[in-house]
Amino acid sequence: MTTFSMRAVGYRRVSMREQVDGFSLDAQEGNIRKYAAERGWDLVKVYTDAGISAKKDSHRPELAKLMQDAEDGQFDVVVVDKIDRFYRHLNGLLNALDELNGHNVTFVSVQERLDFTTPWGKLTLTMLGMLAEIYIDNLRQETRKGKKQRARDGLWNGNIPFGYCRGLCSRCEDPNGPGYCPDVGKPNKGDGKTMVEHPVDGNAVRMAFNLYLHGYRSDVAVAERLNEMKFTLPDGTEQAYRQKGIRGRKGPGSFTKDFVRGLLTRVLYTGKVAYYGQGRKRKIEALYPGKHPALISEETFQALLDLRKTVGSVASTKLGTPQRVYPLTGIIFCSSCGWPMRGTMWRPLGFAYRDSGQIDLHTACDQKPIKAITLEKKVIELLYAATQEWDKSVSPEATTKCIEDAEANLQRAQELYIRGEITKEILEREKDRTEKILEPLQENSFVATLALSKKIQLAHANWKEISTIEQKRLLRLVIEAIFVRENALVAVQPTFAFLPILTTLLKKSSSSGPDGIRTRDLGLDRAAC
């Protein structure tokens, strides 16, 4: 008589945290083998996922292999030590068991003594799976609370970021420690709980910010330059900078574009600790003072963020030299076809602005390329001329006279009303008119406009000396759009901040100037004052 022996496989798993806390894969396998032996089953294989969570959507290679082998009919029963080793998410658990059942594979849990093929087994399985899901949801909430409290306490969550270390120099285990850091083996600089500045990496962080702010305006350029640089150690030897990798995944190595991008946008380096919200695109919910030292100032960090926003992806490098930033790109348009014009190298002219519709073959517009320096000079000359006219109209004498005349007219109206020569409605209209005259001369908006005027005049005086990125910042501050035809500026759309200044110029001039700027055609989408 031939007896049939069921082919069994085992599945065991521990998460990264459970590995640290000492949960044993061997103990799970021992229980699985004992259970199979007691029933006379032939245990043909044990699948193992080490250091992987069982939460929803987690990728477990060995579990995926198990499910594929089940479909191929390679075994009859799956044995696990506990259900939460298999799944902690109810839907995932039930879907997996339903799939196994469809392949005529049964499921057994050693600790729960559960065979899901029986009615009571199915009911118990559902309850246990639900409890496992509740457990992981509760664990997630408690973990989130703990992370937020650590942030409140000024402590970093996660692996020690580049630029810092634990300060345990006497027994250093940092990836950028032995053989790299000059302080290894010396007295401890910290207690291991609060981050301290790494003597080499901290300098690399400051160097990265300095490089970006002073010419190397792309993540690739900064990474390449850091990979070339070396740090002089106290004994006079030189040490090449390197990023320290991720513990358990990859070791130290060269700087990459992605690494530099994360480094340059990390608010941690200002001495603050960020608490991030939920979701795939996590955003900072709160910032708390950190107990770690700042590597850069908040002003430097904000300046770099502003610069990244302004530069965008334009400033890549070519042959090791930072590419030119075109101040007008993004705000200049062809007045004929409406397509934006962008800065590019045009062999006959050198640096030039070209119709992007022509470049991308979207239009047959006859707009010719314009030499960049010439066009940029015309724009700053227009801005400067506007500030000169505005300054004349708001000189101390003119402003004082305007205020005195307005107040005198109001006083006269009040006297006429008292004598009964005008109605109350006329008096109210005169009050409204006076307020509209005095308001821009007395409020903070006037002071802000005055400051903007002086800023433009200073930039005009030093236009050749200031960087193209500073030029671009200024132009974005005062202009939303410029329309050109041939070499002439035919329309300008100012920002609200610049509108009062430009309006003054328009009131004075309505014909073409000597530089070819046809001011009568300057179309504004803002209401003039």
Asked which of 29-38, 272-281, 284-293, 460-469 is least confident by mean pLDDT, the reply is: 272-281
Q: 360: Cβ–Cβ under 8 A, 6 or more apart, which residues?
A: none
- According to DSSP, the residues that pair with 493 across neighbouring strands are 481
| pLDDT value at residue 314 | 46
SS3 content of the chain, % helix, strand, coil (to 5): 45, 15, 35
pLDDT beyond 90 at 270: yes
Query: What domains appear along the chain, each with residue ranges and CATH number?
Result: 7-146 (3.40.50.1390), 164-311 (3.90.1750), 373-401+443-521 (no CATH)
The whole-angstrom separation of Cα 40 and Cα 75 is 14
Judge whether residue 54 has pLDDT over 60. Answer: yes
Angle between helices 372-393 and 499-508 (to 10 degrees): 90
The answer to whether 49 and 16 are in contact (CB under 8 A) is no
The 10s digit of each residue's pLDDT in 8-28 is 999 998 876 555 444 578 889
> Taking Cα atoms as reference points, which of 342, 370, 357 lies closest to residue 472?
342
The two three-digit tokens of residue 510, written as one number = 């309505």
What pTM was estimated for this model as a whole?
Answer: 0.49
- Predicted pLDDT of residue 508: 59
Comparing C-alpha atoms, which of 235, 255, 482 is closest to residue 375? 482
Alpha carbon distances (Å) from 254 to 119, 183, 196, 198, 220: 59, 22, 23, 17, 12
What pLDDT is stored for residue 517 in this prediction?
A: 38
Average pLDDT, whole number, for the chain? 80
Answer yes or no: is pLDDT of 459 > 60: yes
Instruction: Tell me the CA distances in angstroms from 468 to 286, 464, 474, 485, one per residue in order.
Output: 35, 9, 10, 23
User: How confident is residue 377, by pLDDT bands cut at 50, 70 and 90?
Assistant: very high
494, 502 in Cβ contact below 8 A?
A: yes
With a cut of 60, say whether residue 527 has pLDDT above it: no
Going 499 to 500 to 502 to 504, the CA torsion angle's sign is positive
Which among 117, 152, 93, 98 has a CA at the least distance from the CA of 6? 117
Mean pLDDT value of segment 270-288: 77
pLDDT at 284 over 90: no
Count of other CB atoms within 10 angstroms of residue 261? 16
Tell me the DSSP string of 467-497. -HHHHHHHHHHHEEEEEEETTEEEEEEE-TT
Q: DSSP of 219-259, one letter per residue?
A: HHHHHHHHHH-EEE-TTS-EEE--B--BTTTB--B---HHH
Contacts of 38 (CB under 8 A, 6+ apart): none
Provide the pLDDT confidence category of residue 2 given band limits of 50, 70 and 90: very low
- Whether the pLDDT of residue 315 is over 70: the answer is no
Angstrom distances, CA of residue 61 to CA of 19, 52, 68, 196, 247? 18, 10, 11, 38, 21
Cα–Cα distance between 139 and 14 in angstroms, integer? Answer: 16
Q: Other C-beta atoms within 10 Å of 394: how many?
A: 19
Question: Are the C-beta atoms of residues 243 and 253 closer than 8 Å to each other?
Answer: yes
Q: DSSP letter at 446? A: H
pLDDT category of residue 516 using cuts at 50, 70 and 90: very low
